């Protein structure tokens, strides 16, 4: 939807510039640790951190959503009087920058400058593999990098999408350029957002910053001496092109994907070898199948091969020949299967069709020889392309084998003789509760699966039996009878490996593509790794987790699951940017391993680096990087370490130590939930390892949030559904964007930033600003004095209640809820106060509301609140203000009365609508608008309802819940008082139960908690005004007839409307050149001059002062209105209506008359009067 204009947006953007300039000039967010003996030393501190973003692009709305949680929390804690620090780093370690620079070099070499790329073919869609896998770890989805660059094949195109020109892109062929360009824009964009960051402490990583480089080397020295870092061969995701392990942050696709271990079943080709394999004579030839279910090999009936894909035969390190796909052979070559690491010695390439009908000797099977048969849906991108067939327990295998058995033509197509297929029946190997000893056969029959092409049904069948079989299945095979499947699985696997019938084989769980565009494998690598599986370390990490606040049980469970499966993590690589492993400089520290305790570096960064991100300008004490020895870092970070031998001045050393001791630990770490299984877990592990004996340095709170949707869809550049931080600010203003980020969601589920709602939020902020200005203008004319009126006291209690509730939500980091109670509902109580008080608001309360609203909104929308704070005459920045005080206890009874009045007014309006439109459909009859009403109030329920409430309360207290309706009805039948009301009884019971869900035990009370009549009587004027009635009368139901008594109950007063006789009188304004128009207003019997003027003012919104209005009548009520007015003498032929006149009506003739004082004489004045408005 196109905007009609941007004036309001531009006004807010201008306010934001002014606020940001003030904060920068006053250095509001530059916070140093207070001196030990100073007054501020006892002030509580609060340090928040956010995972430093990677410097290969501008920040987008996804980054902003996560870091906004830090920002809002910090803003709230400032209001609590804490000394708050939010430092912000910039991450450059790892492959992405180096890979991006190398790609640009390659693209210029290959395609020229500027490059002219060939027309690309649309990428084939990858078929998702839905095979149920029994796993012990949670894994991520599509990587963020892949999502962001979707549809862009070349690095040059990706840079173009960032708005860069060709000459600008050329500079990025040098990795160093990335380290200066993107950090600058990141800080610029975050400052536009109004982030409360101490930018003196900002730094970039890698050895481009020698101070940070020194810090990381110290960290790794300490981890190694504590035996947390080890060296050896480990299975890891590996990029052959890059020649190194490929960690999460080094991937463009497959973030969160790990190695999947298979058992590689060796099925020996029977002698004599078929003609297609004759060239392999003299070697042991195996078709190798990767399985996750080695315990089912007892049930093999055949081997599946895909007839339409190519296979290779290659020689292994022990001279055997394996046949599988080329992709699987490549994986095996990095796991010690071949003589030369990474080299596949291909002897023969064969089509799957040529492998049909080959006899095999398979391990453990009941059949001496089984045969290769065709299966079309085998995928080349998973496993080896060779699949074992166990039709007793695998629905796919059973369906495919049955197809071959039932279709002779199918067998002939693949040159299969009947003896290769027909004699082979499913073998009973596992008993599964509910599915018997042939689970695949039974589930296929249950789902009416007709063939192997019923893919959806087969998927459902696998989901039904695979997990149940693993966890509940019991073995039937001799030697394992009665044992659980999950218990014997590892035993059978190890036995097959010992007997050389199988080998261990790994490959990535899903496709992993490195930043350099290489398809990764699983390799057995020499590498330095962090031993996260070490028992004592894991135990201490769990202790830290137990003491952590995670704000969500889902997040805690995710951490616990990660600790269960996490073992080793490769921390070294040989390609990219970063810090060299200090004792083995051929390797670099990988990007997830140099980002675990860097929050400690924030405490001293401003002292070491000065005003530069890389330390090149030097700090205030002129400390050099080479002076930062491990002993100096020890002194800074450990309480008990002695002064080191160093040329660094002692005051500088003491200051760095003091800064760290004051600010640490990290009070809050915020991140997306996708970092729980890696970065956030490593964050806990490494803090425990570096400070094992000082729990006070361990993390205190971790808040993980869901991902950010934009307009209910995933953000994607390729679809255009994407917003950078800078674009969002330009479009909605910083505060408008922040408002919508807070309103988007708080849980670990995906949040939703809706642009239409962001526009609405911007307008709401602008409207608040304009209202504040109105109140400031009207300040001197507002009511003052004591705050004793009922609506004043209600408003004050509701303000206090809103402050308390909003504070709770901020404390729990529930910012959407804080907006709900601290803005939406808070402004609703203001509107209600304005309505209850009929616009006569108390000045002190209005400005208490404005102060409180501004303070509570300031963590989320600080710029606007800063501006309003100054409009209110506050000299100091709102950043130094405190959370609003609650001087008095909340009067919950008053709030309940207010809600009652609001509710009954709503009910009365509904009843008025029904009164004015009596009957239904075509029989509906319109009634005149009512002029007065009687409201009947009950103190107690009718007898029959009281009996039911008493019974329901007894039943609830007896069992802690209500019985079934049948049981309640049976109890009701026993009550003599209810015999006449049985038809009404159960509907009343249902209504009470529904009310119980919201009101709890109060719904069973026999009387109200307050005097309803008094509340209504106090607000009689408001009710009459709200319902547009001339009069309203409050009565007790005991004074009414039986119908009134029956309809009335506590909390539900009954209203009866009536229409009073009147004459519609035309009031004409005869004053030239003004904005007052002709009005038609009813006049009632007994009206006075003042009541008519009051009614007239209600109809004419341009008049507010009753004393400014006078009435005149025509001397000749018939001819007077017909004469052309004399503008020189506008009052000619008219007489002033006396102030003490009383009006009478003649409905028959539709005219009115007046009498003055005690006179009984009536003067008929017709049905047209004149009114004048005087200044």
- Binned at pLDDT 50, 70 and 90, residue 283 comes out as very high
**Is the bond into 133 cis (omega within 30 degrees of 0)?**
no
Per residue in 1025-1037, pLDDT (tens digit) is 999 898 899 999 9
Buried-exposed string 235-258: b where 16+ CB fall within 10 A, e elsewhere: bbbbbbebebbbbbbbbbbbbbbb
CB under 8 Å to 164, separation ≥6 — which residues? 172
Bridge pairing between strands 259-269 and 285-291: antiparallel
Residue 513 has pLDDT above 80, yes or no: yes
Two structure tokens written together for 1118? 């018939």
Closest listed residue to residue 670, CA positions, set 660, 680, 681: 680
Closest listed residue to residue 16, CA positions, set 255, 195, 138: 195
Whole-number Å distance between alpha carbons of 683 and 21: 35
Report the interhelical angle of 599-609 vs 650-663 (nearest 10°). Answer: 150
Q: What is the pLDDT of residue 142?
A: 43
Q: What is the pLDDT of residue 258?
A: 80
Per residue in 84-119, pLDDT (tens digit) is 999 999 999 988 899 889 889 989 999 999 999 987
Whole-number Å distance between alpha carbons of 362 and 340: 28
Two structure tokens written together for 694? 């000082």
Whole-number Å distance between alpha carbons of 747 and 814: 8
- Strand-pairing partners, residue 265, are 289, 502
Cβ of 5: how many Cβ atoms within 10 Å? 7
Burial of 700 (0-12, 13-18, 19+ CB in 10 A): middle
Dihedral over Cα of 138, 141, 143, 144: its sign? negative
Buried-exposed string 1077-1102: b where 16+ CB fall within 10 A, e elsewhere: eebebbbbeebebeebbebbbeebee
Bridge pairing between strands 1109-1114 and 1168-1173: antiparallel
Backbone φ and ψ of 526, nearest 5°: -75, 125
Residue 1138 has pLDDT above 90, yes or no: yes
Span 764-774, mean pLDDT? Answer: 97
Q: What is the pLDDT of residue 719?
A: 77
Identify the weakest region by mean pLDDT among 263-267, 362-366, 1153-1157.
1153-1157
Span 391-415, mean pLDDT? Answer: 94
Q: What is the pLDDT of residue 152?
A: 67
Q: What is the pLDDT of residue 248?
A: 65
Here the contacts of 910-914 (C-beta below 8 Å, separation 24 or greater) are: 911/1055, 911/1057, 912/1027, 912/1057
- Binned at pLDDT 50, 70 and 90, residue 499 comes out as very high
Per residue in 588-638, pLDDT (tens digit) is 999 999 999 999 999 999 999 988 999 999 899 999 999 999 999 999 999
Closest listed residue to residue 620, CA positions, set 587, 652, 660, 653: 652
Per residue in 960-979, pLDDT (tens digit) is 899 998 889 888 888 888 88
State the Cα angle at 773 between 772 and 775, rounded to 5°. Answer: 65
- Binned at pLDDT 50, 70 and 90, residue 139 comes out as very low
- pTM greater than 0.85: no
Q: What is the pLDDT of residue 703?
A: 96
- Strand-pairing partners, residue 388, are 303
Cβ atoms of 546 and 540 closer than 8 Å = no
Q: What is the pLDDT of residue 244?
A: 86
Q: What is the pLDDT of residue 140?
A: 38
Burial of 671 (0-12, 13-18, 19+ CB in 10 A): buried
Whole-number Å distance between alpha carbons of 1111 and 1134: 10
Q: What is the pLDDT of residue 772?
A: 98
Q: What is the pLDDT of residue 125?
A: 41
Per residue in 638-682, pLDDT (tens digit) is 999 999 999 999 999 999 999 999 999 999 999 999 899 999 999
Two structure tokens written together for 55? 């410097």
Residue 134 has pLDDT above 70, yes or no: no
Q: What is the pLDDT of residue 1157?
A: 78
Q: What is the pLDDT of residue 126?
A: 42
Dihedral over Cα of 526, 530, 532, 537: its sign? positive
State the Cα angle at 560 between 556 and 561, rounded to 5°. Answer: 115
Identify the weakest region by mean pLDDT among 323-337, 842-856, 1050-1064, 1150-1164.
1150-1164
Identify the weakest region by mean pLDDT among 196-210, 839-853, 916-930.
916-930
Per residue in 9-24, pLDDT (tens digit) is 999 999 999 999 999 9
Residue with tokens 């039932």: 406
> Mean pLDDT across the chain, nearest whole number?
91
Buried-exposed string 549-574: b where 16+ CB fall within 10 A, e elsewhere: ebbbebbbebbeebbeebebbbbbbe
Residue 924 has pLDDT above 90, yes or no: no
Please tell me which residue, 545 or 992, carries the higher pLDDT value.
545
Whole-number Å distance between alpha carbons of 992 and 970: 17
The Cα-based distances of 840 to 364, 541, 792, 1023, 1164 in angstroms read 91, 61, 10, 15, 37
Please tell me which residue, 977 or 217, carries the higher pLDDT value.
217
State the Cα angle at 114 between 113 and 119, rounded to 5°. Answer: 110
The Cα-based distances of 1158 to 215, 588, 1091, 1161, 1166 in angstroms read 99, 106, 18, 9, 22
- Binned at pLDDT 50, 70 and 90, residue 1073 comes out as confident
């Amino acid at each position: 939807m196109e905007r009609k204009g941007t004036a309001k947006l531009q006004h807010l953007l201008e306010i934001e510039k002014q606020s940001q300039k003030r904060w920068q000039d006053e250095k509001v967010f530059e916070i140093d640790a207070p001196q030990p003996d100073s007054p501020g030393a006892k002030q509580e501190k609060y340090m928040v951190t956010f995972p430093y973003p990677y410097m290969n692009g501008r920040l987008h709305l996804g980054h902003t959503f996560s870091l906004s949680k830090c920002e809002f929390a910090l803003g709230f804690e400032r209001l609590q009087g804490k000394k708050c620090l939010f430092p912000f780093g910039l991450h450059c370690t790892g492959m992405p920058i180096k890979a991006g620079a190398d790609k640009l070099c390659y693209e210029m070499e290959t395609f020229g400058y500027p490059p002219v790329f060939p027309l690309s073919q649309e990428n084939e869609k990858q078929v998702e593999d839905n095979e149920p896998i029994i796993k012990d770890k949670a894994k991520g989805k599509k990587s963020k990098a892949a999502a962001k660059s979707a549809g862009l094949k070349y690095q040059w195109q990706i840079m173009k999408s960032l708005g860069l020109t060709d000459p600008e892109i050329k500079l990025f062929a040098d990795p160093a350029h990335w380290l200066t360009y993107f950090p600058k824009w990141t800080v610029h964009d975050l400052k536009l957002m109004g982030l409360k960051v101490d930018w003196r402490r900002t730094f970039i990583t890698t050895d481009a910053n020698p101070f940070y480089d020194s810090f990381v080397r110290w960290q790794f020295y300490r981890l190694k001496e504590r035996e947390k870092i080890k060296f050896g061969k480990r299975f890891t995701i590996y990029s052959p092109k890059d020649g190194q392990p490929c960690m999460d942050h080094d991937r463009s696709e497959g973030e969160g994907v790990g190695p999947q271990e298979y058992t590689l079943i060796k099925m020996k080709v029977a002698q004599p070898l078929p003609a297609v394999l004759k060239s392999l004579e003299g070697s042991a030839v195996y078709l190798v199948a990767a399985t996750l279910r080695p315990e089912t090999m007892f049930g093999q009936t055949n081997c599946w091969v895909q007839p339409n894909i190519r296979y290779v035969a290659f020689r292994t390190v022990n001279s055997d020949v394996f046949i599988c796909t080329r992709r699987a052979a490549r994986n095996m070559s990095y796991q010690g299967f071949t003589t030369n690491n990474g080299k596949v010695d291909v002897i023969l390439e064969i089509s799957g069709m040529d492998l049909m009908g080959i006899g095999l000797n398979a391990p453990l099977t009941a059949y001496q020889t089984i045969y290769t048969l065709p299966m079309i849906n085998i995928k080349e991108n998973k496993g080896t392309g060779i699949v074992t067939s166990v039709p007793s327990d695998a629905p796919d295998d059973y369906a495919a084998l049955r197809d071959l058995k039932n279709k002779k033509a199918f067998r002939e197509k693949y040159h299969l003789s009947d003896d290769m297929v027909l004699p082979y029946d499913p073998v009973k190997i596992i008993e599964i509760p509910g599915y018997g000893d042939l689970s695949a056969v039974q589930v296929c029959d249950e789902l009416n699966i007709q063939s192997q092409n019923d893919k959806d049904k087969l998927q459902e069948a696998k989901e039904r039996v695979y997990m149940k079989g693993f966890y509940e299945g019991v073995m039937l095979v001799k030697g394992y009878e009665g044992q659980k499947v999950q218990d014997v699985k590892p035993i059978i696997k190890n036995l097959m490996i010992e007997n050389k019938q199988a080998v261990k084989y790994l490959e990535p769980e899903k496709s992993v593509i490195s930043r350099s565009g290489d398809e990764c494998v699983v390799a057995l690598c020499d590498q330095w790794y962090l031993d996260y599986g070490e028992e004592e370390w894991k135990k201490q990490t769990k202790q830290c987790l137990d003491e952590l606040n995670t704000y969500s049980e889902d997040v805690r469970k995710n951490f616990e699951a990660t600790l269960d499966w996490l073992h080793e993590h490769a921390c070294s690589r040989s390609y990219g940017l970063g810090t060299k492993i200090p004792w083995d400089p051929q390797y670099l520290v990988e990007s997830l391993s140099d980002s675990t305790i860097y929050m400690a570096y924030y405490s001293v960064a401003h002292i070491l680096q000065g005003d530069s991100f890389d330390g090149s300008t030097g700090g205030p004490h002129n400390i050099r990087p080479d002076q930062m020895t491990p002993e100096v870092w020890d002194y800074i970070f450990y309480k008990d370490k002695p002064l080191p031998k160093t040329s660094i001045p002692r005051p500088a050393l003491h200051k760095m130590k003091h800064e760290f001791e004051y600010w640490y630990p990290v009070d809050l770490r915020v991140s997306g939930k996708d970092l729980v299984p890696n970065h956030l877990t490593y964050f806990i592990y490494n803090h425990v390892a570096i400070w094992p004996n000082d729990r006070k340095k361990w993390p205190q709170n971790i808040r993980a949030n869901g991902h950010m949707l934009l307009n209910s869809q995933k953000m994607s550049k390729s679809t255009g559904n994407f917003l950078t931080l800078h674009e969002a600010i330009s479009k909605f203003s910083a505060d408008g964007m922040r408002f919508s980020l807070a309103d988007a969601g708080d849980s670990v589920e995906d949040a939703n930033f809706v642009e239409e709602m962001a526009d609405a939020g911007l307008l709401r902020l602008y409207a608040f600003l304009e209202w504040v200005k109105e109140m400031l203008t009207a300040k001197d004319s507002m009511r003052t004095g004591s705050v004793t009126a009922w609506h004043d006291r209600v408003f004050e209690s509701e303000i206090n209640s809103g402050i308390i509730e909003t504070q709770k939500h901020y404390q729990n980091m529930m910012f959407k809820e804080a907006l709900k109670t601290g803005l939406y509902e808070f402004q609703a109580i203001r509107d209600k106060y304005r309505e209850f008080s009929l616009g006569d608001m108390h000045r002190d309360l209005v400005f208490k509301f404005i102060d409180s609203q501004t303070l509570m909104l300031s963590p989320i929308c600080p710029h606007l609140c800063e501006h309003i704070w100054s409009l209110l005459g506050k000299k100091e920045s709102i950043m130094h203000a405190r959370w609003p005080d609650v001087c008095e206890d909340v009067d919950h009874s008053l709030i309940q009365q207010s809600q009652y009045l609001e509710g009954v007014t709503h009910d009365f309006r509904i009843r008025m609508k029904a009164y004015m439109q009596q009957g239904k459909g075509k029989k509906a009859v319109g009634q005149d608008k009512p002029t007065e009403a009687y409201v009947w109030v009950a103190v107690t329920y009718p007898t029959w309802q009281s009996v039911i409430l008493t019974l329901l309360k007894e039943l609830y207290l007896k069992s802690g819940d209500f019985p079934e309706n049948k049981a309640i009805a049976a109890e009701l039948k026993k009550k003599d008082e209810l015999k006449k009301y049985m038809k009404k009884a159960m509907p009343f019971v249902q209504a009470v139960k529904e009310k119980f869900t919201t009101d709890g035990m109060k719904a069973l009370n026999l009387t109200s908690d307050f005097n309803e009549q008094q509340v209504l009587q106090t607000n009689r004027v408001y009710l009459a005004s709200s319902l547009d009635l001339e009069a309203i009368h409050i009565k007790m139901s005991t004074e009414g007839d039986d119908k009134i008594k029956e309809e009335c109950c506590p909390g539900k007063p009954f209203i009866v409307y009536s229409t009073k006789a009147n004459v519609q009188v035309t009031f004409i304004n005869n004053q030239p050149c003004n904005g007052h128009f002709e009005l038609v207003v009813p006049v009632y019997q007994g009206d006075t001059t003042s009541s008519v003027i009051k009614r007239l003012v209600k109809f004419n919104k341009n008049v507010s002062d009753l004393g400014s209005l006078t009435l005149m009548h025509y001397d000749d009520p018939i001819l007077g209105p017909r004469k052309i007015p004399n503008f020189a003498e506008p009052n000619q032929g008219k007489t002033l209506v006396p102030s003490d006149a009383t009006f009478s009506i003649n409905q028959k003739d539709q005219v009115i008359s007046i009498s003055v004082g005690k006179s009984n004489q009536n003067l008929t004045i017709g049905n047209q009067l004149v009114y004048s408005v005087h200044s």
